[in-house]
Amino acid sequence: MDQHNQNSVSLGELERFCHSVLIACGANEATADAVTRAMMHGTRHGVDSHGVRLLDHYVRALEGGRINKNPDLKVANAFGAIETLDAGDAHGALATYTAMDHAIALAAHFGIGAVGIRNSSHFGPAGAYSIEAARQGFIGFTFCNSDSFVRLHGGAQRFHGTNPIAVAVPSAGENPWLLDMATSAVPFNRVLLYRSTGTELPQAVASDSAGIDTRDAEAVDMLAPLGGEFGFKGAGLAGLAEILSAVVTGMRLSFDLPGMISSDMATPRGLGAFVIAIKPDAFGDQATFDAGMARYLDVLRNSPAREGQHVMAPGDREWAVAAEREKAGVRIDPATREAFAALGETYGVTLHFS
Amino acid sequence: MDQHNQNSVSLGELERFCHSVLIACGANEATADAVTRAMMHGTRHGVDSHGVRLLDHYVRALEGGRINKNPDLKVANAFGAIETLDAGDAHGALATYTAMDHAIALAAHFGIGAVGIRNSSHFGPAGAYSIEAARQGFIGFTFCNSDSFVRLHGGAQRFHGTNPIAVAVPSAGENPWLLDMATSAVPFNRVLLYRSTGTELPQAVASDSAGIDTRDAEAVDMLAPLGGEFGFKGAGLAGLAEILSAVVTGMRLSFDLPGMISSDMATPRGLGAFVIAIKPDAFGDQATFDAGMARYLDVLRNSPAREGQHVMAPGDREWAVAAEREKAGVRIDPATREAFAALGETYGVTLHFS
């Protein structure tokens, strides 16, 4: 491994490395599988903020006790087409894949199913779970709240998390339609990128610690909700994710959550989340649904673009990145490479760069 | 009635007038009730674009045959916790109130229920139906597509409608939490307002017929999706409303819909819509849910505001308008007043201004 001259890794090798480290740190098989799969969804599809760079953080949370290495996931409550899953401080990836599996089973039986998740933890990319439903022929919804980092519309302090909403819809013979969005105006990673490049932020997407808009990435203390002048929409969507994930499940509201980044890696954070699966052919016949999706996507992909821009269906960018990374592998950023070297040392696992 | 000197009408009088006109034009009782109730939701809460100004349009659609005065609503398909309702070209208000009633009944039994609506028509304010669920203790979702008026992110032609999403959540002893949003960057009414006042539009919220951004309200041919630089989020949310309302139900996609405003008032438009109801206490106990909502709203309403702004929960603006209009009545705009005078003449109904 000559990581100083080479910096591309194949997706398969990355997957093997992550899984081996998780097993070596003591996570059970189900946890190692789920966490690797969720991180690889992020890395494969270009959502690098929620990809393998999280491995180091997750290992520290597993080792510290914040996340249970051998959790006991239990259905705490079942009522018709819904369930409440107590994840027993499992990793959020295991909790949410499990919840989506249950929601799919409920939807297969009842046409729709929903699962509220209790005692979970950071789950990474929300789209990973919705896409699982779509791959099995169901429309999947995933919601989560997270520690406060986004102001309210008109507000001057951190209130909601970036509270993502992800929806995936099956599209026969094609990759699913996939919307995976934070409800903030910009992702925090954009701020980090602008900090490192010294670029000014777009107007009205972030504020300083007094809630005043700033274009100086260094001064950013909170993000604005999606929607600009109509930011009540982004704040409302964040509220929807918050209510489903934390109020319906009886878990912690964003402003009551201990931070993800914290010196306390021993105390479970009490995160909730919420998933829904819908069986589209329960409403009519599969052929009508498939034909409708095909026509919708065909007209969309062939519609005229604005000058210098192009039109894509939700998810198209992700599939393009995945195709490229399947072929060429993925470059690992310096901080993650360093963390991987240390993890490899600690757990006796080697990452082979290509 | 001296409508030239007076222009305020009490909500009760307005309701009576609308209902009487609808009955006089031949709509059955259920249609007249539902249409009046939906329009009055709009007018009562300050959503005037979707209030009583629609009466004249609806009467023409009922008289022309586009909307069935005596529709036969049938459950076309039932499967566990979902249904497909064939509204038989009913008015969208009757179709959607009926669908939400069914979704609530399903949710009472299964914890969640969803109803896809076929052969419906323009339903007015989406929030009217979600709030009905919340008033009965359920979380209500309402989705609809509408004729193309919003470009895609990067797109240069009308693609989605303003495709609204409305969610209402019950809040014990208080008005519900209510998010009722178009998925476009601005409502078209904002454009009309700016046209009448000659004001420049905000940046990047609307485009001319070539898809190029314009701040000239007169030149606006299409709206931008919510989200500005991140307009893929607004376009994705519009797509979600489109897929649930039109693809799942087998109804017309926005770009295939005949226009709402058209010389053909005889042909049904083939609109779909989609509603979901969730029973929050099925996931845990009612007291935990109520305490969570109370804390969420309390912290929200008491959080510090940006200078010159204030913080409100979704719906708070609407309740404030309703309280004021309950007391002082509502001013009717000149065009609507004129239409009401003609309707009163035709159907022998008098509107009393106060």
pLDDT tens readout for residues A291-309: 999 999 999 999 999 999 9
> How far is the C-alpha of A297 from the C-alpha of B333, rounded, in Å?
41
**Coil/strand/helix, residue A278:** strand
Whether residue A165 contacts residue A145, with contact meaning beta carbons closer than 8 Å, is answered with no
Residue B154: which of A111, A151, A311 has the nearest Cβ? A311
CA A346 to each of CA A22, A134, A339, A341, B193: distance values in angstroms, whole numbers, following the listed order: 12, 38, 11, 9, 65
Model confidence over B160-217: pLDDT tens digits? 999 999 999 999 999 999 999 999 999 888 888 889 888 999 888 999 999 999 999 9
Within 49-88 of A, beta carbons closer than 8 Å to B belong to: 77, 79-82, 84
Separation between Cα atoms, residue A99 and residue A82, nearest integer Å: 10
In the block, residue with structure tokens 């990047």: B204
The pLDDT assigned to A2 comes to: 42
- Interface check for B109 against chain A (CB to CB < 8 A): the answer is yes
Q: What is the pLDDT of residue B28?
A: 98
User: Is residue B125 classed exposed, middle or buried when 0-12, 13-18 and 19+ CB atoms within 10 A define those classes?
Assistant: buried
pLDDT at residue number A267: 96
Q: Please choose, from the candidates B227, B234, B109, the residue with its C-alpha nearest in 3D space to the C-alpha of residue B159.
A: B234
Structure tokens at B208: 């001319």
Q: Extract the tokens encoding A264.
A: 């306390």
Query: A-contacting residues of B 137-156, CB under 8 Å?
Result: 139, 151-156
Single-letter amino acid code for the residue at A27 = A
Percent of chain A predicted with pLDDT > 70: 98
**Partner residues linked to A151 by β-bridges:** A158
Closest CA to A292 of B254, B66, B231: B254
Measured in residues, chain A has a length of 354
DSSP string, B51-78: TGGGHHHHHHHHHHTSS-SS---EEEEE
Pairing type for strands B112-120 and B82-86 reads parallel
CB atoms within 10 A of CB A169: 29
Asked if A150 and A161 count as a contact pair (C-beta separation under 8 A), the reply is yes
Task: Tell me how close the Cα of B154 comes to any Cα of chain A, in angstroms.
Answer: 5
Contact A84 B284 (CB under 8 A): yes
Give residue A7's pLDDT. Answer: 76
Point out the residue among A113, A154, A289 whose CB comes nearest to the CB of B305. A154
Q: How many degrees, rounded to 5, is the angle at CA B22 between CA B16 and CA B23?
A: 90
Are the beta carbons of A155 and B303 separated by less than 8 Å?
Answer: yes
List, as ranges, residues 161-180 from B with C-beta within 8 Å of A: 167, 169, 177, 179
Mutate to test the interface with A, among B249, B283, B311 (most CBs of A within 10 A): B283
- Please, what is the Cα angle at A46 between A44 and A52, to 5 degrees? 60
What distances in angstroms separate CA A253 from CA A159, B138, B276, B328, one per listed residue?
9, 20, 24, 39
- Helix (H, G, I), strand (E, B), or coil: what is residue A118? strand
In angstroms, rounded to a whole number, what is the distance separating the alpha carbons of residues B284 and A4?
A: 53
pLDDT of residue B281: 97
CB contact under 8 A, A284 and B248: yes
Q: Measured between CA atoms, how close is B209 to chain A, in angstroms? A: 11
pLDDT for res B6: 64
Q: How far is A133 from chain B (nearest CA, A)?
A: 15
Indicate whether A6 pLDDT > 70: no
Give residue limits of the domains in chain B: 71-283
pLDDT at B89: 98
Contact B153 A227 (CB under 8 A): no
CA angle B294/B297/B303 to nearest 5° reads 135
DSSP strands (E only) in B131-249: 139-144, 150-151, 158-160, 165-169, 177-181, 206-207, 222-223
- What CATH architecture is A71-283? 2-Layer Sandwich (3.30)
Q: Which of A79, A181, A242 sits opposite B296 (nearest CB)?
A: A242
| Interface membership of B233 toward A (CB under 8 Å) | yes
> Would you state the pLDDT for residue B189?
80
3-state secondary structure of B341: helix
pLDDT (tens, 9 = 90+) of chain B, 354 residues, equals 444 446 799 999 999 999 999 999 999 999 999 999 999 999 999 999 999 999 999 999 999 999 999 999 999 999 999 999 999 999 999 999 999 999 999 999 999 999 999 999 999 999 999 999 999 999 999 999 999 999 999 999 999 999 999 999 999 999 999 999 999 999 888 888 889 888 999 888 999 999 999 999 999 999 999 998 899 999 999 999 999 999 999 999 999 999 888 889 999 999 999 999 999 999 999 999 999 999 999 999 999 999 999 999 999 999 999 999 999 999 999 999 999 999 999 999 999 988
A108–chain B Cβ distance below 8 A for any pair = no
A341 touches chain B (CB under 8 A): no
CB A8 within 8 A of CB A337: no
ipTM: 0.96
Closest CA to A122 of A272, A267, A21, A251: A272
Interchain proximity A77–B284, CB inside 8 Å: yes
Q: pLDDT for B31-60, tens place per residue?
A: 999 999 999 999 999 999 999 999 999 999
Q: Mean pLDDT throughout A27-40?
A: 98
Q: Provide the whole-model pTM.
A: 0.97
**Residue A311 scores a pLDDT above 70:** yes
CB A304 to CB B156 under 8 A? yes
What digits encode the pLDDT tens for the residues A142-191? 999 999 999 999 999 999 999 999 999 999 999 999 999 999 999 888 88
How far is the alpha carbon of B210 from chain A, nearest alpha carbon, in Å? 8
Residues of B in contact with A280 (CB under 8 A): 247-248
Residue range A106-148, pLDDT digits in tens: 999 999 999 999 999 999 999 999 999 999 999 999 999 999 9
Let me know how long chain B is: 354
pLDDT at A1: 40
Instruction: Evaluate whether A37 touches A128 at the Cβ level (below 8 Å).
Output: yes
- A:B CB pairs within 8 Å: 263
Kindly state the tokens that stand for B298: 């309390």
